[in-house]
Amino acid sequence: MRITKYRKTVKFTYFRWNMVILFLCLLFMPGYVKFESTGDNLFHIFVNGIDVGSVAKLEEAEDMLWDARREIAAASDDLVLMDVNMTYVGEEMLYGYVDDPQEVYTRIREALQDSILEADTRSYTLKMDEYMVNLASIEELRQLLQAVISKYDSEDNFGVEIVQEEGRLFNVLTAHVVDRLSQQEAREEMRRQEMQPFPEAGVQAQLTELFAQEVEPEEKDFDDYDLGVMSMQFTEEVEIVEAYLPQSQLMPLEQAIEEVTKEQETVGTYTVVSGDTLSEISLKVNIPMETLVAMNDSLEDINTTIRVGQELIITVPEPEVSVERQEVNYYEEIYDAEVIYIDRDDWYTTQTNVVQQPSAGLRKIVAEETYVDDTLVQREILKEEIVIEAVAKIMERGTKVPPTYIKPISGGRASSGFGRRTAPTKGASTYHKGQDWAVPVGTTVVASCGGRVSRAGWGSGYGYVVYIDHEDGRQTRYAHLSKILVKVGDYVKQGQKIALSGNTGITSGPHLHFEILINGTQVNPLKYLQ
């Protein structure tokens, strides 16, 4: 009876405690999130669209993502680029299941591994002046630069040293050419000094220095000179920077060596020096005379007179990376004595006269020479012995600057040039000996060059004409004038008004006819006008 009375009470108490225990188990069981009314508390994570699992806190997924990226990058020496896009879907739940963190991390890493783009390779970029090349390693760069200097160093006495450039904010390297023999001698000298137990000092050191100064060096014989390359350096500063580049942007070493050592044709200039002739310049620069004439507007033909200081355009073969070197060489050579000039102040600079023809000599020399690549830029003779003495060329030359010629009218249309033509009107010549400009009657005509008027008047087919004789022996003529403003014997200056244009004589219309005569023969005036 008593059991029946309390049965319902015991049963209710038992059920209630079971519910409490179940709730506590659910609340503290791993893998579940307790409900908090604070927004999303369960996050489904996606990396590049791939479901990688669920976490309770978004920060956990972000930390996993960065740890996975670091792990993948640490496995390679190169710069690893990957496409990363993490998204999530959040939920607010009373009870929710989250995945094991290690499994989530593994799936994140796998998703990143599949998204790796082309890995950029650690490489090195070499820059010299305007030339750049990308190579895979410092050693390849050293081999490239070594190939450049080895072209001129057959005995392998010089090497390339790549060092950190001082004073630069960034990690910039530079390259220098080093003398291996000098480095070896310096190391040996240092070892000798270290092995000396008692270095000289005091009076003994002063006496040694004094005797060393008093000994005068004897004059060297030809056999006493060390011959060959003495020093070498790059003509431009070499800059090397570390970079991460796609493999496709790196150049194979063999191709880079071919590129930097082969010669490219570049435009340069040659300055005419005393004694030069066009044929001698042609030999010096290894360009045919006809090609030199074609390249330079200042040269009319191979017989054109050239002057000291004149600059000629030439093509110069140059490699991408240039080297300057100093050599000491022995020669037995044919040589020419320097030209002896006799200046004539009453001659024009275009006038010359050879007084004595030259004769080549023979000599033995030791010369210190400076080259940039294959071009000799400086030479100093250290020792010379004449075997056969050369005979100098003696030449008279003028010092007066010859007069210049200007167009005798302002404006005008070139209506007939110098040379053969169809006669424009009856009685006109079929070989035109001057230059015509069509201008209205009364246009001002000026002296093309200063000189003395030798004729002014009527000239048959020329109509009214003016002749002017010039100091350089040339003569100018101005024809078909309407009015003459000078008379015979007048001295006129360049640009001075001498007449008005017209339509007199044999013409087909108003114009000015202009001639230049050299030694009494008409030449094309346009070649002499400034």
Structural domain boundaries in the chain: 42-114, 122-194+223-251, 264-321, 324-402, 413-527
Which CATH code fits 324-402? 2.20.230
Question: Which residue matches tokens 């004409």?
Answer: 465
Closest CA to 116 of 83, 148, 159, 143: 83
**CATH for 413-527 (3.40.50.620, 2.70.70.10, 2.160.10.10, 3.30.420.40):** 2.70.70.10
d(CA 471, CA 347): 10
Query: What is the tens place of the pLDDT at every residue in 238-258?
Result: 888 888 787 788 888 888 888
Q: Tell me the mean pLDDT in the region 409-425.
A: 80
Q: What span, in angstroms and rounded, lies between the C-alpha atoms of 472 and 450?
A: 10
Q: Letter for the amino acid at 145? A: L
- Residue-wise pLDDT for 116-168, tens only, equals 765 567 788 888 777 888 888 888 889 888 888 888 888 888 988 888 876 65
CB 238 within 8 A of CB 175: yes
Beta bridge partners of 375: 372
**Overall pTM > 0.95:** no
Structure tokens given for 428:
């006109």
Residues 6+ apart with CB under 8 A from 410: 443, 444
User: How many separate helices (H) and strands (E) can be counted in the chain?
Assistant: 9, 29
Q: pLDDT tens across 385-394, in order? A: 999 999 999 9
The owner of tokens 């093309």 is 448
pLDDT confidence band for 1 (50 / 70 / 90) = very low
**Pairing, β 340-348 against β 394-400:** parallel
Question: CB-side exposure of 487: number of CA atoms within 13 Å?
Answer: 0
Instruction: Assign domain 264-321 to its CATH superfamily.
Output: LysM domain (3.10.350.10)
Higher pLDDT, 426 or 100: 100
Specify burial of residue 525 (Cβ count, 10 A radius: 0-12, 13-18, 19+). Answer: buried
Residue-level pLDDT at 498: 96
- Model pLDDT for residues 444-486, shown as the tens digit of each residue: 999 999 999 999 999 888 999 999 999 888 999 999 999 999 9
